[in-house]
Structure 1
Amino acid sequence: MKRALSILTLALLPTATAATPSNALVIQTATDIPTLDPVMTYDTGSGQYVENIYETLYQYKGSSVKDLQPLLATGHKASNGGKTHTFDLRKNVKFHSGNPFTCADAEYTFRRALVVNAAESWTWFLSEPLLGTPDNALNDKSITWARITKAVACNTQNQLVFNLAAVDPAFLAKLVFVGASIVDRQHAIKIGEWDGTEKTWKSWVGKNLNDSALSKNPSGTGAYTLVKRDANNTVLRAFPGYWGGAPALQNVIVQRVVEQATRLEALKRGDADIVETGPRPVLAQLRGQPGLRIIDDLPNNTASVIFMNEKISDARALGSGKLDGQGIPADFFSDVNVRRAFSYAMDYGRYIKEVQLGQGMQRTMALPDSFPGYDPKVKKYAFDPKKAEQYFKRAFGGQLWKNGFTFTAHYRAGAVAQQTLMELLKQAVESINPRFKVNVEGKQWSEMLRDSKDGREAMILIAWVPDYADPDNFINTFYSSQGFYSPRLNFKDATIDAWVRQARSTTDSAKRDRLYSLIGNRAFEQAPFLLMPAGIGFTVVRDNLRGVSAEQFNPMLSFSYTGTYWRELSKK
């Protein structure tokens, strides 16, 4: 511990000019750590630590988001028509506490996730296939201890067995999600976590465990163990008992530095090996700097859209509430002609050129192009003011064009790229008809999330970062009337809903791909949202850091900007 802390002190010296120690990785980020408890890990700030302290049953294979390989499991078999999944588990693995990893730990981990299933947790998408509902036992009284214990259990061969309520083609991919990491059962119980019994399970349902005892004192099987954590500094060191062999970097120091300029200077000086750089324009400050290596043309696994809410529930967002030029009715975006008009009014090419500096791609679907199910042949909108005008003239039987409208579109306050995007749309729309008025305003992220979830926002820009590498995580989220984002746009199309359900209930990959293509083309016709160009990813590291490259980079492991696990990094 003393060794790690001495390295931390060195790394924090403001006048340091030497490179970071050869056996340490120093990262600077603007993000805090909400939790180190896997069951509550549903954010990138927590994820970069949890994916290195803990381990899942399976992991991504290299840079692929399609291919998986065993990690704490050694093999997997699906049976019973895809409703039963049996895992062989790795032997001779120890937790940081020294306790041996057994099937009982895996069983406890997933039962704990099903029991807690808090509102702030990721565990709803595990409960959905295993228990047939995304809700916990407080909200769904049909959930019983018997159902939980049947859903996941160790058999007499010490194999972990999942019994699904319904076939889920994404189930294995869901188990790769960082929150599905295996916890140390004996350690957790010892420090006051759930004891794993029927007697106490109901008292843990829905609990917010962000600040749990396990979050403060984690014990995983991962390559790194926690040494120190406070508001601004987190120190980890290599676990000497790690089953996968000793990592090359013995210490990892993550410093929270809110100011972007400070982080960039630390990277240029060599006080940090890798930092949260911010958007692409910062590369102008970093290109040509000695000691730096820019890794460009990386895959982007997010999807960004502008939502057009078809059922706006806040009178303040409606102005007059009428098509009289002073406001909009609550169902303004329910007219498909309005949605198509806005879709043609967006200058996608200009956004790619000016905001993404030419490093962007206009996708056909709200799905990463590296994911299964993406169809590049699906139709997509192009900037066409004349077509936009035609559809605006058709909307509301001609009343919209005659009377005009006024409403406010929001973006995340402080997000320059989002502001620019919204202002491009505003400029294009208002140039079509002087009676059209789009007010563009920044809004605090937490407020915008809350209000949009309640259907109060007329138009907002928002993105989705995947939980697991399966197309359902995007398709259901964006397109289904039962999806996570549905309350933000209130779009419902019975045909699309039917196709989404079919794709979620079959393991036939070819059939799923056909359904996703149908959904994409139907969505082009219905235009539920404006699909924004995806930026090309990049990262910047010190040139002596090895293990970070375009060939090795996995976008599902980009929490710490390396696209890989810390255990795979080294320095020359």
Structure 2
Amino acid sequence: MKKIAALSTLLILTSALAVAPKDTLVIQESADIPTMDPGVTYDTASGSITENLYETLLTYSGASLTKLEPLLATKWTISNGGKTYTFDLRKNVKFHSGGAMTCADAEYSFERNLVTNSAESGNWFIAESLLGTGANANDDKTITWARIDKAVECNAAGQLVFTLPAVDPAFLAKLAYTGQSVIDSKHAIKLGEWSGKESDWKTWVGKNLTNSKLSQAPSGTGAYKFVRKDANAFLASAFDGYWGKKPAIKNVIIQKVPELAARQQAFLRGDADLIEGGGRAVDEEQIKGKSGVTWIDNLPNTVSTAFFMNQNIKSSGLLGSGKLDGKGIPATFFKDANVRRAFSYAFNYKQYIDDVQNGKGKQRTMLLPDTFPGYDAKIGTYSYDKAKAEQLFKRAWGGQVWKNGFVMTANYRAGSVPQQTAMEILKKNVEALNPKFRINIQAKPWSEMLSDSKTGKEAMIVIGWAPDYADPDNFMYTFYSSNGYYFPRSNFKDAQVDKWLEQARNTVNTAERNRLYSLVGKKAYEQAPYILMPAGIGYTFVRNNLVGVSTGNFNPMTSFSYTGTLWKDLSKK
């Protein structure tokens, strides 16, 4: 095997190597990495990086979705009727910069998240806990520096103290999310990030941190430190000053390889230890059972995925003429429920399950994992029905859709075979209904699609949601509330649904919450704001010399990666 002499050489690791080195983990994905700043990490590609460079106060225990254990904290107490949380912090912890972690760093991290919070940052749910609102000071004038400062403080004993305005039974779980990691405050301030003081806090309210200076030069307490990154590769190395057990894997390379075939070939040769696959059907045919492969099946699936039908499209570039004249669509094309329901009947769910999930998938009734409380299996589901789709298209927009036809453009994540296949199924079936119907589909880089969809510029995309914390509110509010994270992507708003969701998050009565979520699910079935993608049975595959991946320790809450565990828990034999 060719000897690697320097870290820089690792970034251009190619098929010239017989296999990936024993001390190096090589991952190939189709997506790029939007950010490495925990304060704005809210996508899986970014999360898979930040959770290994940074650490949170708490983490999930083993494969449990609900049991938490200390990480940067060592213990905690709850007082004041469940509204005050006091944390003892781990001592002798160093940041990658060499500085020691203190309570001041933790306080800075949470206050920074509250200051810069926006609907797109992933901090709205911690802001709801600590400030009583998911908004920031620009959108809610009652938020003051005094409120933020009081919400999280260090006491005289060096303990971190959170003071909540109301009881939140999900608060501890929220602290385990990678976006709530502790950052190196001195390092960040030196880079030019927020000073941590009242004097300049207003200039940082709602600020987009995606390409922040901290994202470009991260410094956390994690087992791995950032080395370098370019458009096609990322490199991290084991942190010598890590407080915990020293990882066996010394280097981690993530390569951007858009072509699935190239990723598959690299994996089967042993050049890559982990790759983004092409969906169960493709992976079982091309990967399962091959030499050097370990296949792990029947894993939990806690992701919900859907076609988003944007009811207020803000990108004229996707609208053609912008009218229902057969040459485009209006920005409000999907506002007519007849259009949305017609599209829902035009998708062939069974074909997707067969072609992408190799028959191992099922339709869900709601955009909520069926293992979560609140899921109602009795709600109806759509099925492929050409006659019903045609009937609804003829009703849409007073008959104008059927009479004039339409042309629209839908984007999917470049390199994602499941998304491309889903788009192709929908395109074929819709266009077969009427020769005047046309859907143009095109691949788009993940970071661009993510950014444009945040501002409502995408007409129709396929996107999923992995839970931040194990509570149904994290899915139901996200997808269905007009105040939810995904609202700008769908622009679906129903006053009754909003009311039910607010009631559900303000009661600790499980039976009542379940009843309310069932009502939301039934209303969503009627209104069809989304086309619900079938949920596959979880699986993963790795090179058979990679140790540490198993059903016993696979935790979808802990890790965004294909292993269900962190890099530090992996090794090679």
TM-score > 0.5 by shorter chain: yes
**How far apart, in 1, do the equivalents of 2:171 and 2:212 lie?**
27
Partner of 2:506: 505
Structure 1 match to 2:271: 271
Alignment of structure 1 residues 348-387 onto 2, 5 Å: 348-387=349-388
> What is the distance in 2 between the residues matched to 1:99 and 1:73?
18
CA shift, 1:50, in A, is 1.7
SS of alignment partner, residue 539 of structure 2: strand
Q: What is the CA–CA distance in structure 1 between the aligned matches of 2:272 and 2:448, rounded to whole Å?
A: 33
Distance 2:167 2:465 in 1: 25
State the TM-score, normalizing by the size of structure 2.
Answer: 0.85
| Secondary structure at 1:550 match in 2 | coil
SS in 1 for 2:66: coil
Shift of 1:94: 3.5
Per mean C-alpha deviation after superposition, the further-off stretch among 332-341 and 169-178 is 332-341
Equivalent residue for 1:159? 159
Aligned to 1:548: 549
Cα offset, 1:70, TM superposition: 2.3
1:380 is displaced (CA, Å) by 1.8
* Distance change >3 Å, CA 418–CA 207, structure 1 → 2: closer
Rate the CA distance shift 1:372–1:66 in 2: closer, same or farther, 3 A. Answer: farther
Query: Whole-Å Cα distance in 2 between the matches of residues 11 and 485 of structure 1?
Result: 35
Q: Secondary structure at the match of 1:523?
A: helix
Please state if 1:439 is matched with 2:434.
no
Residue aligning to 2:59: 59
Given that 2:361 and 2:535 are in contact with CA atoms closer than 8 Å, whether structure 1 keeps it comes out as: yes
Equivalent position SS for 1:342:
helix
Contact 2:326 2:405 in 1 (8 A): yes
Displacement of 1:228 after TM fit?
4.4
Residue matched to 2:287: 286
Distance 1:455 1:49 in 2: 26
Decide whether aligned partners of structure 1 residues 273 and 351 sit closer, same or farther in structure 2, where only a CA change above 3 A counts. closer
Distance 1:395 1:40, change over 3 A: closer
Q: How does 1:397-436 map to 2 (within 5 A)?
A: 399=399, 403=403, 405-408=405-408, 410-412=410-412, 414=414, 415-429=416-430, 434=434
| Alpha carbons 1:407, 1:458 under 8 Å: kept | no
Cα shift readout 1:145-195 (whole Å, capped 9, x = no counterpart)? 211111111234433222234444443332222121112334444555444
- Name the SS for the 1:501 alignment partner: helix
Q: How far is 1:518 from its partner? A: 2.3
Give, in whole Å, the separation in 2 of the partners of 1:64 and 1:269: 34
Q: 1:422 to 1:231 in 2, by over 3 A?
A: closer
Q: Is the 8 A contact 1:168 1:504 kept in 2?
A: no
TM-score by length of structure 1 reads 0.85
Match of 1:172 in 2: 172
Q: Partners of 2:37 and 2:455 in 1: how far apart?
A: 28
Distance 1:243 1:450 in 2: 36
SS state at 1:199 partner: helix
Matches of 1:466 and 1:254 in 2, distance apart? Answer: 23
Q: 1:508 to 1:172 in 2, by over 3 A?
A: farther
Count of residues paired in the alignment: 567
How far the C-alpha of 1:329 sits from its partner, in A, is: 6.8
1:243 to 1:205, Cα distance in 2 relative to 1, 3 A: same
Alignment of 1:6-21 (within 5 A): 6=6, 9=9, 12=12, 14=14, 16-21=16-21
Percentage of pairs with the same residue: 57
Q: Aligned residue for 1:110?
A: 110
Q: Match of 2:198, SS?
A: coil
Distance 1:466 1:407, change over 3 A: farther
Alignment of 1:94-109 (within 5 A): 94-109=94-109
Compare 230-239 and 532-541 and name the one that shifted more.
230-239
How far, CA to CA, are the matches of 2:353 and 2:173 in structure 1?
Answer: 32
Deviations 1:423-479 (A, max 9, x none): 4334444555x4762434326467766766665665444333444443222211211
Whether the aligned pair in 2 keeps the contact of 1:308 and 1:460 (CA below 8 Å) is yes
- Residues 246 and 140 of structure 1, relative CA distance in 2, 3 Å threshold: same
Whether the 8 Å CA contact 1:4–1:235 is kept in 2: the answer is no
Q: Any residues of structure 2 matched to 1:116-265 within 5 Å, and which?
A: 116-117=116-117, 121-190=121-190, 192-265=192-265
How far apart are 1:260 and its partner, in Å?
A: 3.8
Q: Match for residue 42 of structure 1? A: 42
> Quick one: distance in 2 between partners of 1:413 and 1:175?
30
The residue identity in structure 2 corresponding to 1:69 is: E
Q: How far did 1:543 drift?
A: 0.5
**Contact persistence 1:24–1:251 (CA under 8 A):** yes
Indicate conservation of the 8 Å contact 2:319/2:330, yes or no: no
1:485 corresponding residue in structure 2: 486
Relative to structure 1, the CA distance from residue 448 to residue 103 in structure 2 (aligned partners, 3 Å threshold; closer, same or farther) is closer
